[in-house]
Amino acid sequence: AQSVTQLGSHVSVSEGALVLLRCNYSSSVPPYLFWYVQYPNQGLQLLLKYTSAATLVKGINGFEAEFKKSETSFHLTKPSAHMSDAAEYFCAVSDVSQAGTALIFGKGTTLSVSS
Amino acid sequence: DAGITQSPRHKVTETGTPVTLRCHQTENHRYMYWYRQDPGHGLRLIHYSYGVKDTDKGEVSDGYSVSRSKTEDFLLTLESATSSQTSVYFCAIQGTGGPGTFFGQGTRLTVV
Protein backbone atom coordinates (compact mmCIF):
# COMPACT_ATOMS: atom_id res chain seq x y z
CA ALA A 1 0.00 0.00 0.00
CA GLN A 2 1.14 3.50 -0.74
CA SER A 3 1.57 6.15 1.91
CA VAL A 4 2.99 9.64 2.29
CA THR A 5 4.64 11.23 5.31
CA GLN A 6 5.17 14.95 5.55
CA LEU A 7 7.69 15.80 8.23
CA GLY A 8 6.63 18.82 10.20
CA SER A 9 3.03 19.98 10.35
CA HIS A 10 4.19 23.59 10.61
CA VAL A 11 7.25 25.30 9.13
CA SER A 12 8.15 28.93 9.75
CA VAL A 13 10.66 30.90 7.71
CA SER A 14 11.63 34.52 7.27
CA GLU A 15 11.00 36.33 4.03
CA GLY A 16 13.94 35.69 1.71
CA ALA A 17 14.98 32.48 3.45
CA LEU A 18 15.11 29.01 1.94
CA VAL A 19 11.90 27.02 2.03
CA LEU A 20 12.24 23.26 2.56
CA LEU A 21 9.15 21.10 2.99
CA ARG A 22 9.81 17.41 3.46
CA CYS A 23 7.92 14.50 1.95
CA ASN A 24 8.72 10.79 2.12
CA TYR A 25 6.69 8.12 0.41
CA SER A 26 6.32 4.39 0.47
CA SER A 27 5.21 2.55 -2.59
CA SER A 28 5.60 -0.98 -3.89
CA VAL A 29 5.57 0.27 -7.48
CA PRO A 30 7.14 3.32 -9.13
CA PRO A 31 5.00 6.24 -8.11
CA TYR A 32 3.85 9.50 -9.50
CA LEU A 33 4.44 12.26 -6.96
CA PHE A 34 2.78 15.63 -6.58
CA TRP A 35 2.88 18.79 -4.52
CA TYR A 36 -0.23 20.88 -4.07
CA VAL A 37 -0.73 24.25 -2.40
CA GLN A 38 -3.88 25.43 -0.67
CA TYR A 39 -4.53 29.04 0.21
CA PRO A 40 -7.14 29.81 2.88
CA ASN A 41 -10.70 28.91 1.88
CA GLN A 42 -9.63 27.75 -1.55
CA GLY A 43 -9.18 24.48 -3.39
CA LEU A 44 -5.90 22.74 -4.05
CA GLN A 45 -3.63 23.99 -6.80
CA LEU A 46 -1.07 21.72 -8.44
CA LEU A 47 2.46 23.06 -7.88
CA LEU A 48 4.43 20.37 -9.64
CA LYS A 49 4.52 16.68 -10.45
CA TYR A 50 7.04 13.90 -10.97
CA THR A 51 6.12 11.39 -13.64
CA SER A 52 9.38 9.45 -14.10
CA ALA A 53 11.05 11.86 -16.49
CA ALA A 54 13.56 14.30 -14.95
CA THR A 55 14.19 13.76 -11.26
CA LEU A 56 14.40 17.51 -10.62
CA VAL A 57 11.00 18.97 -11.27
CA LYS A 58 10.29 22.67 -11.58
CA GLY A 59 6.88 24.01 -10.74
CA ILE A 60 5.01 27.25 -10.50
CA ASN A 61 5.89 30.19 -8.26
CA GLY A 62 9.60 29.30 -8.16
CA PHE A 63 9.16 25.96 -6.39
CA GLU A 64 10.99 22.80 -7.31
CA ALA A 65 11.28 19.27 -5.98
CA GLU A 66 13.77 16.46 -6.42
CA PHE A 67 12.79 12.80 -6.63
CA LYS A 68 15.33 10.64 -4.77
CA LYS A 69 14.50 6.99 -5.12
CA SER A 70 17.23 5.84 -2.73
CA GLU A 71 15.80 8.05 0.00
CA THR A 72 12.13 7.61 -1.04
CA SER A 73 11.85 11.37 -0.80
CA PHE A 74 10.31 14.20 -2.80
CA HIS A 75 11.15 17.35 -0.85
CA LEU A 76 9.83 20.73 -1.99
CA THR A 77 12.17 23.74 -2.04
CA LYS A 78 12.19 27.40 -2.93
CA PRO A 79 15.37 29.49 -2.68
CA SER A 80 13.75 32.65 -1.33
CA ALA A 81 10.42 32.77 0.48
CA HIS A 82 7.84 35.45 -0.21
CA MET A 83 5.02 36.49 2.06
CA SER A 84 2.60 35.21 -0.57
CA ASP A 85 3.97 31.66 -0.12
CA ALA A 86 2.21 31.34 3.22
CA ALA A 87 -0.24 28.49 2.72
CA GLU A 88 -0.75 24.81 3.37
CA TYR A 89 1.21 22.37 1.23
CA PHE A 90 0.32 18.78 0.51
CA CYS A 91 2.45 15.99 -0.91
CA ALA A 92 0.61 13.20 -2.71
CA VAL A 93 1.39 9.91 -4.43
CA SER A 94 -0.41 7.82 -7.00
CA ASP A 95 0.16 4.48 -8.64
CA VAL A 96 1.58 4.62 -12.16
CA SER A 97 0.40 1.15 -13.03
CA GLN A 98 -3.30 1.94 -13.08
CA ALA A 99 -4.88 4.84 -14.89
CA GLY A 100 -7.21 6.92 -12.83
CA THR A 101 -5.80 5.81 -9.49
CA ALA A 102 -6.73 8.26 -6.78
CA LEU A 103 -4.14 10.31 -4.98
CA ILE A 104 -3.02 9.47 -1.47
CA PHE A 105 -2.15 12.59 0.50
CA GLY A 106 0.12 13.46 3.34
CA LYS A 107 -1.37 15.34 6.26
CA GLY A 108 -0.07 18.67 5.09
CA THR A 109 2.48 21.27 6.17
CA THR A 110 1.49 24.82 6.97
CA LEU A 111 4.12 27.32 5.86
CA SER A 112 4.31 30.63 7.67
CA VAL A 113 6.46 33.46 6.32
CA SER A 114 7.46 36.36 8.55
CA SER A 115 8.81 39.73 7.48
CA ASP B 1 -9.17 26.17 -14.68
CA ALA B 2 -10.28 22.54 -14.97
CA GLY B 3 -13.96 23.46 -15.26
CA ILE B 4 -15.12 21.97 -11.97
CA THR B 5 -18.05 23.47 -10.10
CA GLN B 6 -19.19 22.32 -6.70
CA SER B 7 -22.56 23.17 -5.20
CA PRO B 8 -23.47 24.29 -2.69
CA ARG B 9 -20.30 26.00 -1.47
CA HIS B 10 -21.54 26.16 2.10
CA LYS B 11 -24.24 24.21 3.90
CA VAL B 12 -25.45 23.82 7.44
CA THR B 13 -27.72 20.88 8.12
CA GLU B 14 -29.16 19.05 11.07
CA THR B 15 -28.14 15.64 12.31
CA GLY B 16 -30.13 12.89 10.67
CA THR B 17 -31.07 14.77 7.51
CA PRO B 18 -30.01 13.67 4.03
CA VAL B 19 -27.59 15.89 2.14
CA THR B 20 -26.46 15.80 -1.47
CA LEU B 21 -23.42 17.59 -2.80
CA ARG B 22 -22.98 18.09 -6.50
CA CYS B 23 -19.86 18.18 -8.63
CA HIS B 24 -20.13 19.31 -12.23
CA GLN B 25 -17.35 19.23 -14.80
CA THR B 26 -17.36 20.71 -18.26
CA GLU B 27 -14.48 18.85 -19.89
CA ASN B 28 -15.74 15.28 -20.25
CA HIS B 29 -13.13 13.68 -18.00
CA ARG B 30 -13.59 10.02 -17.20
CA TYR B 31 -12.29 9.94 -13.62
CA MET B 32 -13.91 11.88 -10.80
CA TYR B 33 -13.30 11.79 -7.05
CA TRP B 34 -14.75 12.94 -3.76
CA TYR B 35 -12.39 13.74 -0.90
CA ARG B 36 -12.94 15.14 2.54
CA GLN B 37 -10.45 17.40 4.27
CA ASP B 38 -10.09 17.50 8.03
CA PRO B 39 -7.42 19.17 10.17
CA GLY B 40 -4.57 16.80 10.89
CA HIS B 41 -5.76 14.26 8.32
CA GLY B 42 -5.05 15.90 5.00
CA LEU B 43 -7.40 14.77 2.26
CA ARG B 44 -8.97 11.34 2.32
CA LEU B 45 -10.76 9.63 -0.53
CA ILE B 46 -14.46 8.92 -0.01
CA HIS B 47 -15.56 7.51 -3.37
CA TYR B 48 -14.46 7.72 -6.95
CA SER B 49 -15.87 7.10 -10.40
CA TYR B 50 -14.24 5.73 -13.52
CA GLY B 51 -17.20 6.25 -15.81
CA VAL B 52 -20.95 6.62 -15.98
CA LYS B 53 -22.51 4.31 -13.39
CA ASP B 54 -19.05 2.99 -12.47
CA THR B 55 -18.06 3.90 -8.92
CA ASP B 56 -16.02 2.44 -6.11
CA LYS B 57 -15.30 3.05 -2.45
CA GLY B 58 -12.36 4.91 -1.03
CA GLU B 59 -10.74 4.98 2.37
CA VAL B 60 -13.60 6.66 4.28
CA SER B 61 -16.75 5.62 2.46
CA ASP B 62 -18.93 4.63 5.44
CA GLY B 63 -22.02 6.82 5.62
CA TYR B 64 -21.66 8.08 2.05
CA SER B 65 -23.03 7.03 -1.30
CA VAL B 66 -22.39 8.38 -4.80
CA SER B 67 -24.00 8.37 -8.18
CA ARG B 68 -22.88 9.24 -11.67
CA SER B 69 -25.66 9.10 -14.24
CA LYS B 70 -23.95 11.53 -16.63
CA THR B 71 -20.27 12.04 -17.40
CA GLU B 72 -20.37 15.61 -16.17
CA ASP B 73 -22.05 15.11 -12.79
CA PHE B 74 -20.87 13.22 -9.72
CA LEU B 75 -23.13 13.39 -6.69
CA LEU B 76 -22.16 12.65 -3.10
CA THR B 77 -24.98 11.81 -0.68
CA LEU B 78 -24.96 11.62 3.07
CA GLU B 79 -28.01 9.49 3.76
CA SER B 80 -28.31 10.61 7.39
CA ALA B 81 -25.82 13.29 8.31
CA THR B 82 -23.83 13.00 11.53
CA SER B 83 -21.63 15.53 13.31
CA SER B 84 -18.55 13.50 12.32
CA GLN B 85 -19.31 14.35 8.71
CA THR B 86 -18.72 18.04 9.35
CA SER B 87 -15.88 18.70 6.95
CA VAL B 88 -14.78 20.36 3.76
CA TYR B 89 -15.57 18.24 0.74
CA PHE B 90 -13.60 18.45 -2.47
CA CYS B 91 -14.47 17.09 -5.84
CA ALA B 92 -11.62 16.35 -8.22
CA ILE B 93 -11.08 15.15 -11.76
CA GLN B 94 -8.14 13.57 -13.48
CA GLY B 95 -7.15 15.46 -16.55
CA THR B 96 -6.20 14.06 -19.90
CA GLY B 97 -2.83 15.77 -20.10
CA GLY B 98 -1.03 13.07 -18.16
CA PRO B 99 -1.30 12.27 -14.47
CA GLY B 100 -2.50 15.08 -12.27
CA THR B 101 -5.69 15.68 -10.39
CA PHE B 102 -7.54 18.98 -10.41
CA PHE B 103 -9.77 20.13 -7.60
CA GLY B 104 -12.94 22.12 -7.22
CA GLN B 105 -13.26 24.96 -4.72
CA GLY B 106 -14.79 22.80 -2.03
CA THR B 107 -18.02 22.60 -0.05
CA ARG B 108 -17.96 23.43 3.63
CA LEU B 109 -20.55 21.25 5.35
CA THR B 110 -21.52 21.73 8.97
CA VAL B 111 -23.77 19.18 10.68
CA VAL B 112 -25.36 20.53 13.85
Task: Report how far residue A96's alpha carbon sits from residue A109's, in angstroms, rounded to the nearest whole number.
Answer: 25
State whether residue A103 sits within 8 Å of chain B by CB.
Answer: yes
Angle among Cα A112, A113, B2 to the nearest 5 degrees reads 70
Which candidate in A4, A21, A38, A44 is best for mutational testing of the B interface (most B CBs within 10 A)?
A44
Burial class (CB in 10 A: 0-12, 13-18, 19+), A104: buried
Which candidate in B6, B37, B43 is best for mutational testing of the A interface (most A CBs within 10 A)?
B43
> A25 near A36, Cβ under 8 Å?
no
**Cα of A76 to nearest chain B Cα, Å:** 17
Alpha helices by DSSP H, B1-112: none
Cα–Cα nearest to A38, from A90, A97, A100, A99: A90
Q: What are A56-68's pLDDT values in tens digits?
A: 999 999 999 999 9
Q: What are B29-42's pLDDT values in tens digits?
A: 999 999 999 998 99
Which pLDDT belongs to residue B55?
Answer: 94
Give me the mean pLDDT over the A25-38 stretch. Answer: 88
